[in-house]
Amino acid sequence: MRLTLRWRIGTAFGLAWLLLTGVLAAATWNLAAGYMLGQREMSAVRQAEVNIRLVDDSLRSGAEGLDELLTGLTSDSDSTVFLSRPQGWITSGRRVDPASLPDPLLALARSGVPDTRRLTVEHIPVIAVALPAGSGPDVFVELFPLVELERTLRFLGIVLVCGVAGGGLLGFALGAWASKRALRPLTELTGAASRMASGDLRTRLPEHTDRDLAALASAFNDTAEALEARVLRDARFAGDVSHELRSPLTTMANAAAVLRRRRSELAGTAGRALDLLLSEVDRFERMVVDLLEISRDDQDSDDPSGEVVNLGELLRNVLDVRAQAPPVVEIEDRPLLVQGDRRRLDRIVANLLDNADRYAGGAVRVAVRRRDGRARLEVDDAGPGVPEELRERVFERFARGVQAGQRGPGGGSGLGLALVAQHVRHHRGAVWIEDRPAGGARFVVELPEADH
């Protein structure tokens, strides 16, 4: 899965800090370890040179008190002293088998060449200093343990590793913080565009002091203002046209009513023509009424405040005034209250029931229930269902789904569900279509529940 831009920036910062602190830690380790080991080796060589002079003096005087001297050289340290003489090895200090000493070290010392090496003798790291003793083949070897130094270097390594890990985490945190601040204008733009897409045409971006961001905000706000003006102009035009059509439509409706009463006097082609005319006049009248409501709603404020409405009671009132047989009704015992415009809410319920009667064989079940703090209205119909690809399109204006292009007495204007969607958005709700478990479609409306 591809990471988001914010995660990619944070990860890049973290890796950069990890690399930087890793290089610094490696350099610190190498410098510190090299310096401390070098200093320890120089100290060991100086100490061994002092000790070999004392041993040489003792050998020149006949080796009297040599054992006591060697014991004294190691009495205040953890070092080990070896003296190789023709009679054998003399040792003092921490017990170490002379056979564990490497032959090249002893060979160089016997040939008169001092040698210093870092070794691991019997699992203990040491610095071995081998020096020729006296004027014969005698060899003086002193082992200086590096246990404390190894412990110090190990602690330093742990500190550096923790520092590198902390640096990586700090880099990631700084990257996340920086990306959040850098992407804040993009987040604001995304949120504003989403609100505009949901119908809030009054959305604007705040002014910015940054020159680049100010240009972006200004361009977006100019576009939003132009779009809002265009939508309002179109809404006013639709409202004006619909209003102007009311007078001739009223005349046509009255004339149609007269003709409807004289329908029995017309037979054959004239009668069928009259029936077609009457159905189209009825459909035209419903369309003009719906257009007027849509245009008026487009120009109204999006503020959903209003009275507190009991959704269950509103559903019962709508069903009581309908001529069709009532469907199965399921309403929770505890009242479900929503804040809003009663007229709009009444129209939502009525349009959903009309849609079921007109296109889907009627509503078979309506329910009002509570789910996750929201009021939920469900309308189940007995139709064939709504195809997946049409479930969003049917809420558009003049969309009539699979009934598009058909005309008849029961035909709709294609605006009923568009009004439902518009009124639901006005109440900060959502509407969608599901499959009914027993077949058919289920229209679902969810609205925020009002505070009790």
Do 265 and 139 fall within a single domain? no
Do 253 and 392 fall within a single domain? no
Supply 215's token pair.
Answer: 């240009």
Question: How many other C-beta atoms can be found within 10 angstroms of the C-beta atom of residue 255?
Answer: 12
Its domain, for residue 59, covers: 5-159
* CATH code: domain of residue 261: 1.10.287.130
Mean pLDDT of 319-336: 87
Q: Using an 8 Å Cβ cutoff, are 83 and 55 in contact?
A: yes
- Separation CA 413–CA 284 (nearest Å): 8
Do 315 and 431 fall within a single domain? yes
In a domain, 202, yes or no: no
In a domain, 206, yes or no: no
Mean pLDDT of 198-216: 78
Do 241 and 331 fall within a single domain? no
Do 371 and 392 fall within a single domain? yes
Q: What was the pLDDT predicted at 405?
A: 46
Phi, psi of 443 (to 5 degrees): -90, 125
- Reduce the secondary structure of 43-59 to three states and give it as a string: HHHHHHHHHHHHHHHHH
Q: How far is CA 28 from the centre of its chain?
A: 38
Q: What was the pLDDT predicted at 190?
A: 81
Q: Using an 8 Å Cβ cutoff, are 46 and 39 in contact?
A: no
CB pairs under 8 A, 24+ apart, for 317-322? 317/346, 318/346, 318/349, 318/350, 318/353, 319/353, 319/366, 322/353
Whether the pLDDT of residue 17 is over 80: the answer is yes
Supply 274's token pair.
Answer: 């009259």
Q: What was the pLDDT predicted at 204?
A: 85
Q: What was the pLDDT predicted at 446?
A: 94
Do 149 and 17 fall within a single domain? yes
Unique residue bearing structure tokens 């229209």: 443
- Separation CA 145–CA 93 (nearest Å): 12
- Separation CA 372–CA 409 (nearest Å): 41
Unique residue bearing structure tokens 């709709």: 412
| Angle of helix 211-261 versus helix 184-197 axis, rounded to 10 | 10
Select the more confidently predicted residue: 137 or 225: 225
399-435: pLDDT as tens digits: 655 554 454 445 556 788 888 888 898 888 999 999 9
- Indicate the helix (H) or strand (E) that contains 283: helix 268-299
Q: What was the pLDDT predicted at 78?
A: 78
Do 312 and 439 fall within a single domain? yes
Do 78 and 30 fall within a single domain? yes
- Separation CA 173–CA 179 (nearest Å): 10
Give the pLDDT band (50/70/90) at residue 445: very high
Supply 63's token pair.
Answer: 């080796």
- Separation CA 398–CA 411 (nearest Å): 12
Mean pLDDT of 57-63: 75
* CATH code: domain of residue 362: 3.30.565.10
Average pLDDT, the chain: 83
Do 238 and 311 fall within a single domain? no
Select the more confidently predicted residue: 236 or 171: 171
DSSP string for 139-200: EEEEEEE-HHHHHHHHHHHHHHHHHHHHHHHHHHHHHHHHHHHHTHHHHHHHHHHHHHHTT-
Mean pLDDT of 64-93: 80
- Separation CA 360–CA 85 (nearest Å): 115
- Looking at 296, 320, 352, the residue that finishes a domain is 296
Nearest to 143 by CA among 185, 203, 82: 82
Mean pLDDT of 175-204: 79
In a domain, 229, yes or no: yes
Provide the whole-model pTM.
0.51
Do 328 and 417 fall within a single domain? yes
Looking at the chain, the whole-number percentage of residues with pLDDT higher than 70 is 89
Close Cβ partners of 160 (under 8 Å, ≥ 6 residues apart):
25, 28, 29
Supply 437's token pair.
Answer: 């478990």
124 bridge partner residues: 121
Supply 24's token pair.
Answer: 């610094």
